[in-house]
Amino acid sequence: MKKPVSSDNLPSSSTKARPILKVSTGISGLDEILEGGLPKGRTTLVGGGPGSGKSVLGVEFLYRGGLAGEPGLFVSLEERAVAVRQNALALGWDLAALEKAGKLVLLDPRLPAEAVVSGDFTLKGFLAILHGQVRALRVRDKIVT
């Protein structure tokens, strides 16, 4: 029979626990709940059903970061970039101004309805554009919704 695991029979370690470095979201109350913000240098996945606020959270995080001088990249797979801008403006967030200042990029990878598609589908072109934008903006921390 295996001996149950307890702190008594774990090897002792001389290393001290280190707190996780955090990145402020800039969102009132959220940083307090998250004990300082999102984990720095790590990807954060935000899950939830339709209408639960995932995209709004991502846009506000990028907006607040842009105001603080941090660049951001938003990839919109469901809404056109123009709709994201309009919705954000309704909340008082001027994304276009941050885009103009080089602090935000909204990517809308969908092809126009009138586009003629020939051959096999591939994500290589979009991934190259995405990689180029990340490098140009020097985006560091990530949030995925």
What pTM does this model have? 0.72
Q: Which residues neighbour 104 within 8 Å (Cβ) at sequence distance 6 or greater?
A: 62, 63, 66, 71, 72, 73, 74, 95, 98
Instruction: Report the relative pairing of strands 38-39 and 22-23 from DSSP bridges.
Output: antiparallel
Q: Are residues 76 and 106 in contact, defined by beta-carbon separation less than 8 angstroms?
A: yes
- Predicted local distance difference test score (pLDDT) of residue 9: 61
Tell me the pLDDT tens digit for each residue of 122-138. Answer: 778 778 887 888 888 77
- Structure tokens that stand for 67 in this block: 């105001």
